[in-house]
């Protein structure tokens, strides 16, 4: 589902996929690197060619979905005898990635476990040394491998190290069969690595020498570098990169580069209101979105410099964006609500029955299908759902273009032998079900829906995976 992911060492990382290095090493307990607002801010969605699912198809896909399996990432003894103490502690799931028949679950402590969906057994831990704290995961579909971004106690967790391991090796229980990436780069604070799935590129920033480098995601060869200490930020869109330079008193210098070879396609200044904070600058293909504090949203077409303004009373600064390239739309997140806009500055969709559970727009609890037709989110449960009130939320599946809630996995009716699938689709925990006899499920559906901290939808298997604060992963499937 992701387009770009920046993994930072401190303020941000995972799902935009930028991972930053941390300012100072304090082990794997600090969760600043999972700043979900920034992750959502960076998340850009690539698309498939075919978008054939109708509303009925979507409802059918989720009609009988129920709790089927439970995995535990916690090993009180640690994955080896020399493991760091905090890696032995039970901690919440912060990220879930699925690749083929393997589910990867990353805990806040830095432990990452791999589970086989066919056997429902834990295959291995991805931490290959006793002091490795894994910060983030990225599945590279170009070569069917998993990239782990880690920090280590040996250097006080101050820099990032990347490793690529083929899925086949992990399936065999050999996570140490991978190889190191970007060893020449010094990814210390405020350095970062960003994985861009849309363009098939990796962007690194070495703060030590202020150099950005672009690598090919297929074979990890370096393509070109950008050396300019005045570059404040880089935003990636399909085919291009936006370079944002140090702001002047009345304007901000900008450059648009080809993502393939770094060629400068356009260089210009964008006028700003003096002494006003810049809330955000975002690039979407030929559209530039600029918003300053207490000012209107500006949408600039960089081809002809045609400017569209949206009143600040209509468009209030969101905490996060998701760009939908296929539909030429973008999502905004603000105060637990989601809205869809077009690039004429018009509100396209407001979602019904879709109040997000987490106020910080945690992208780990949101999944958008690659066809960009559905959004799957962890939401506040119905006020009339007495089993969920104040404790458990619901997993809502909504149509992005209409805002309609098509399906919902919730705690009510979870103890009945059959799912009630008229209107609302409830997650069932039917322990008498034949499939469940060999299951290790200890949680009820209501318990599994409590405080979900990570969510992932496997589109090929039509399964939803959720993780919670106890380090448990739950499989919701037909």
* pLDDT > 90 in the chain, percent: 61
Looking at residue 82, the DSSP 8-state letter turns out to be T
- pTM for the whole thing? 0.85
Q: Give the per-residue pLDDT at 218.
A: 95
| CA dist., res. 128 & res. 178, Å (int) | 10
Q: Are 220 and 228 in contact (CB under 8 A)?
A: no
Q: Give the per-residue pLDDT at 80.
A: 67
Which range (69-78, 136-145, 226-235) has the least confidence?
Answer: 69-78
- Mean pLDDT value of segment 43-64: 60
Question: Cis peptide before 190, with omega less than 30 degrees from 0?
Answer: yes
**pLDDT, the chain, mean:** 83
Q: Give the per-residue pLDDT at 86.
A: 74
| CA dist., res. 449 & res. 102, Å (int) | 22
| 357 pLDDT more than 60 | yes
Report the side by side order of strands in the sheet with 452-458.
66-72, 472-477, 463-468, 452-458
| 478 pLDDT more than 90 | no
| CA dist., res. 372 & res. 47, Å (int) | 7
CA distances, 379 to each of 382, 388, 476 (Å): 9, 11, 16
Residue of higher predicted confidence among 56 and 19: 19
pLDDT of 211-229, one tens digit each? Answer: 999 999 999 999 999 999 9
Q: Where are the alpha helices (DSSP H) in 89-130?
A: none
Residue of higher predicted confidence among 158 and 425: 158
- How would residue 55 be classed by pLDDT, with cut points 50, 70 and 90? low
66 three-class SS: strand
Spatial CB neighbours of 146, under 8 Å, sequence gap ≥ 6: 97, 99, 104, 126, 137, 138, 139, 140, 164, 165, 167, 170
| CA dist., res. 376 & res. 190, Å (int) | 33
| CA dist., res. 321 & res. 311, Å (int) | 18
pLDDT of 411-446, one tens digit each? Answer: 874 433 333 333 343 444 443 343 443 557 788 999
| 9 pLDDT more than 80 | no
- Tokens standing for 66? 């129920």
- How would residue 185 be classed by pLDDT, with cut points 50, 70 and 90? very high
- How would residue 359 be classed by pLDDT, with cut points 50, 70 and 90? confident
What are the DSSP E strand ranges found in 259-417?
264-271, 278-284, 287-292, 297-301, 306-310, 320-324, 329-334, 337-342, 347-350, 366-368, 374-379, 394-399, 405-409
| 284 pLDDT more than 70 | yes
């Amino acid at each position: 589902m992701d387009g770009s992911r920046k993994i930072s060492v401190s303020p941000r990382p995972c799902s935009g996929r930028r991972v930053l290095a941390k300012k100072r090493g304090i082990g794997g307990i600090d969760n600043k690197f999972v700043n979900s607002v920034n992750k959502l801010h960076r998340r850009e969605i690539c698309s498939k060619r075919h978008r054939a699912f109708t509303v009925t198809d979507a409802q059918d896909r989720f009609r009988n979905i129920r709790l089927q399996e439970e995995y535990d990432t916690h090993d009180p003894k640690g994955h080896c005898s020399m493991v760091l103490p905090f890696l032995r502690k039970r901690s919440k799931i912060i990220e879930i990635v699925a690749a083929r028949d393997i589910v990867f679950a990353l805990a806040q402590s830095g432990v990452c476990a791999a589970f086989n969906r066919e056997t429902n057994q834990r295959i291995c831990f991805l931490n290959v040394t006793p002091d490795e704290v894994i910060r983030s995961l990225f599945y590279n579909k170009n070569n069917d491998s998993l990239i782990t971004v880690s920090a280590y106690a040996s250097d006080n967790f101050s820099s990032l190290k990347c490793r690529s391991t083929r899925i086949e090796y992990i399936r065999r229980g050999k996570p140490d069969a991978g190889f190191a990436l970007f060893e020449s780069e010094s990814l210390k604070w405020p350095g970062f690595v960003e994985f861009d799935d849309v363009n098939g590129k990796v962007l690194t920033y070495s703060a030590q020498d202020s150099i950005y480098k672009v690598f090919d995601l297929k074979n990890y060869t370096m393509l070109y570098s950008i050396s300019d200490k005045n570059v404040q930020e880089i935003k990636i869109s399909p085919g291009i990169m936006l370079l944002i330079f140090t702001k002047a008193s009345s304007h901000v210098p900008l450059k648009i580069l080809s993502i393939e070879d770094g060629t400068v396609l356009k260089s210009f200044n964008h006028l700003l209101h003096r002494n006003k904070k810049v809330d955000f600058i975002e690039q979407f293909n030929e559209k530039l979105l600029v918003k300053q504090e207490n000012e209107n949203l500006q949408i600039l077409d960089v081809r002809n410099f045609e400017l569209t303004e949206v009143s600040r009373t209509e468009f209030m600064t969101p905490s996060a964006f998701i760009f939908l390239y296929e539909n030429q739309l973008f999502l905004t997140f603000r105060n637990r609500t989601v809205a869809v806009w077009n690039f004429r500055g018009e509100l396209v969709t407001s979602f019904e029955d879709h109040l997000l559970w987490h106020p910080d727009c945690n992208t780990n609890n949101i999944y958008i299908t690659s066809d960009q037709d559905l959004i799957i989110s962890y939401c506040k449960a119905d006020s009339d759902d007495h089993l969920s009130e104040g404790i458990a939320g619901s997993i809502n599946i909504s149509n992005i273009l209409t805002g309609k809630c098509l399906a919902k996995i919730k705690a009510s009716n979870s103890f009945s032998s059959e799912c009630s699938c008229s209107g609302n689709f409830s997650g069932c925990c039917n322990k008498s079900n034949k499939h469940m006899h060999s299951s290790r499920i200890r949680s009820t559906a209501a318990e599994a829906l409590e405080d979900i901290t990570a969510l992932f939808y496997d589109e090929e298997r039509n399964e939803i995976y959720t993780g919670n604060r106890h380090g448990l992963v739950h499989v919701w499937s037909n």
